[in-house]
Chains A and B, each alone.
With several copies, the nearest count.
Chain A
Amino acid sequence: MIDIKLSDTPLDMAACIGNAADDACGGQVIFAGTVRNKTKGRRVLRLEYECYQSMALKEIKKIAENAIRLWDIRRIVIHHRVGVLGIGDTAVVIVVSAPHREAAFEGCRYAIETLKKTVPIWKKEIFEDGEEWVSAHT
């Protein structure tokens, strides 16, 4: 079971976890990416996320399908937020349910690592004294 979503309203962690519930699973690993108050010592005011929606959904779906193909995983939920996020807000939630915990850990870590490399979502960090598209420049 795959459940993916791009949302411009706050992510519902409880719903993500509930959607991944499965009586045949003994382990659930969840990754939540949240907005940190500092980047390399500079105080962050907020983040602005944008995405190439159709392609982002397609790439997220690929990640979910690959995770299920590569590990013994029964359910995977990947919800990503877009728009303006404040400190402490949740940008991404990934929930992986598997019969055994090893697969849940591996699949969840694979999903977030791959998402950060392949999914066309971009964030701009707004600092007190400027702003920057993360990872854009060396």
Chain B
Amino acid sequence: MKIRILAFGVVKEFMNSSSLEMDVQEAITVAALKAEFEALYPEIKKLKTYLVAVNDTYAGDDETVDANAEVAIIPPVSGG
């Protein structure tokens, strides 16, 4: 299935794009998605940490992602 991944901040910068379409297996877990993303963009491993949000909510590694989900890569936040 194809999923759309949103990028922000430093991630958007090294991706050179604010979003990405990735072709992944059905019902992929967040952990597996992170591994595929890291393979595509090794720069992400230089970050202090990063999280994944699914449908506007922080998602744990075991959660699965379906095709309609809005997925976002969340580098360390720095609001305020």
Contacts and interface: CB of A to CB of B under 8 A. Distances in A.
Interface of A: 33, 49-52, 54-56, 58, 80, 91-92, 112, 115-124, 133-138
B10 A120 contact: no
Nearest to B70: A54
Given A52-B6, A52-B72, A137-B48, A121 B78 contact: yes
A132 B45 CA distance: 17
Contacts of B10: 122, 133, 136-137
A124 B78 CA distance: 9
A93 to B, nearest CB: 11
A123 B57 contact: no
A124 to B, nearest CB: 7
